[in-house]
Structure 1
Amino acid sequence: MTEDGGRVGVRGLTKRFGPVAAVSDLSFDAPPGAVTGFLGPNGSGKTTTLRMILGLVAPTAGEARINGVPFAALQRPARVVGAVLEAQGFHPARTGRRHLLACAAAVGVPDAAVDVGLGAVGLIDAADRAVGGYSLGMQQRLALAVAMLGDPQVLILDEPGNGLDPEGIAWMRSFLRGFAARGGTVLVSSHLLGEIEQTADHLVVVSRGRCVYQGGLDQLRASRRARVLVRCADPGGLARALATAGIVEIDTLPDGRLGVADADAVRVGDVALAAGVAVHGLVEETIDLEQLFFQLTTGAWRG
């Protein structure tokens, strides 16, 4: 890996399949030294986008570049990009080592890269076992070892946590963050929102083929004002008292509670006490990535 890693840039990327627009005018960057989480509901165009970045699908319009050039123009692509997009077609009778040796020959890297790759993904002890006896999680690690053979600058991964147990997911998180810390670029699609929340430095969220958010998780949280959720004996009376106190961003939730923005729990409690409204529950809302994702992808975002 070069010290400054690689950069993935997508500009105006569009892909139509007949009348269906799988991806529409999509633009984003995945910078070096960071894990970029690529999120979106099923059918939002994530896999199609990754395939266009890797030159496997031709865009209808726009472009995707890696280190400033299309994938097809990379002179030694395995030295620049490693990718795992879907379940691999492993021969069940072939050992993990022999599979990697065949892949190393195909991409033009020395056999010595095989043991490096096996060690990187923790499969040294299983290297001489038939892949047919591997668990799904071990097969995911083997696919990642293939991606790492060329010591790439960029990793592009589609749902790499599939089949991994909690220990394996924690290992994957550490692996990806370590790769980024050494200057590499990681673009990872995942439906494991809690895991992306702990792993990614940068988010790209797509819905219906379009980008609905790009930036850091902290910025996303900051753009969504936290609320105080209040259960009380007289919601209408409390809402009027809050408005009189200058607190006007108030929603009535389906369960009857009030959602109060621009005030902390102490302030809301003081207003309720002064107004003589009995409070039965008062909690500051915790905003996690799952809530933010739902709001972004369902059109409920009011940021």
Structure 2
Amino acid sequence: MQETASTDPATAAGSGRIVVEGLGKRFGPVEAVHDLSFTVEPGSVTGFLGPNGSGKTTTLRMILGLVVPSTGRALVDGVPFSALTSPGRVVGAVLEVQGVHPRRTARAHLRAAAAAIGVPDSRVDEVLTLVGLAAAADRSAGGFSLGMNQRLALAVALLGDPRILVLDEPGNGLDPDGIAWLRSFLQAFAASGRSVLVSSHQLAEMELTAQRLVVIDRGACRFDGTVAELRAGHGSRVLVRAADPARLAEALATDGITEIDRVDDGVLAVGGADAVRVGDLALAAGVAVYGMSEERAGLEQMFLRLLAGEEQR
């Protein structure tokens, strides 16, 4: 399956941005989302991460006009979702895999959805090919696996050839080949100048897929930036074996590097700096270095360190 997203310039026109400003939602005494702000830019995949109960699904539903915010606003292409004249042609969304009549074929299901948003039947065959369901187009959906149902839900979202995709856990039920396909598809969709906001618990996959991350916990934003920026703050450290670790630690601290731990005799673990900077400072301080390596944490470790750091404050 080598298909990629359509790159029709007409569809790619428009801002394709999602802007969340001071968004908040209370359900009685429970504050599900608190003063949340972030922007999803065209041309990139934005991963939306957080533990269970963090407010991700509520936020996505507010963006899509399914839940009314208590405070703040969410704009899609510069307006609230409810103000879009042809929402299916602007945003394709999958918040949960909807039930399909078990006797209805994938093609029939998509034709009904296409008629509802005013797109021709010819688009049905296009999206079936895009999501890898062409061979199963005339099979009853009752025999579909969870992964095939995920692809069918994505096909519905793509019918209007939208410039924005909003997806909640789209990789659930996909096998490794399907997950690799989804990654390539989303990256190609974004590379065509469109926007992708995707919520997922598959952190290792998000590290490979997303260019930007928004991490929330207990309804509030904990991080908004690139994967590289998250790694710089939480995800890497330099292990350095020095002749005089105390002197090196002093030189590092003088230069503003304070994330320093003693690992064992002569070895320091230094966070917040790369190996080049540590080596240059050791040279300037006249400290001999016998070995140096850089540890890079995966997104799962960075995610846990980020949330643990918030809890300690």
TM-score, structure 1 as length reference:
0.86
Distance 1:260 1:222 in 2: 12
Distance 2:110 2:307 in 1: 39
Q: CA deviation at 1:205?
A: 1.1
SS in structure 2 opposite 1:25?
Answer: strand
Q: Which runs of 4+ in 1 moved over 6 A?
A: 253-257
Q: CA deviation at 1:239?
A: 4.6
Distance 1:225 1:141 in 2: 33
Q: CA deviation at 1:4?
A: 4.4
Distance 2:262 2:182 in 1: 38
Q: CA deviation at 1:120?
A: 1.0
Q: Percent identity over the alignment?
A: 58
Q: CA deviation at 1:240?
A: 2.9
Match of 1:133 in 2: 143
Contact 2:18 2:75 in 1 (8 A): yes
SS in structure 2 opposite 1:58?
Answer: coil
TM-score, structure 2 as length reference:
0.83
Q: CA deviation at 1:226?
A: 3.7
Q: Which amino acid aligns with 1:148?
A: L
Contact 1:9 1:66 in 2 (8 A): yes
Q: CA deviation at 1:76?
A: 0.8
SS in structure 2 opposite 1:69?
Answer: coil
Match of 2:248 in 1: 242
Q: Which amino acid aligns with 2:132?
A: G
Distance 2:219 2:199 in 1: 14
Structure 2: unaligned runs, 5 residues or longer: 1-10
RMSD over aligned CA atoms reads 2.9
The structure 1 residue matched to 2:93, chosen from 69, 83, 91, is 83
Contact 1:5 1:185 in 2 (8 A): no
The structure 2 residue matched to 1:210, chosen from 206, 220, 233, is 220
Q: Which amino acid aligns with 2:249?
A: A
Distance 1:197 1:225 in 2: 12
The structure 1 residue matched to 2:134, chosen from 124, 127, 137, is 124
Structure 1: unaligned runs, 5 residues or longer: none
Distance 1:49 1:74 in 2: 18
Contact 1:4 1:32 in 2 (8 A): no
The structure 1 residue matched to 2:199, chosen from 189, 198, 215, is 189
Pairs within 5 Å for 1:1-303? 1-4=11-14, 6-224=16-234, 226-229=236-239, 239-243=245-249, 246-248=251-253, 249=258, 251-252=260-261, 258-261=268-271, 262=273, 264=275, 283-299=293-309
Any idea what the Cα deviations from partners look like across 1:196-234, whole Å, max 9, x if unmatched?
1111121111111111111211222234484234799xx
Q: CA deviation at 1:252?
A: 4.3
Contact 2:166 2:197 in 1 (8 A): yes
Q: CA deviation at 1:288?
A: 2.5
Contact 1:247 1:263 in 2 (8 A): no
SS in structure 2 opposite 1:102?
Answer: helix
Q: Which amino acid aligns with 1:220?
A: L
SS in structure 1 opposite 2:309?
Answer: coil
Distance 2:208 2:287 in 1: 42
Any idea what the Cα deviations from partners look like across 1:221-275, whole Å, max 9, x if unmatched?
234484234799xxxx96535336x24446447999852345749959x99xx99
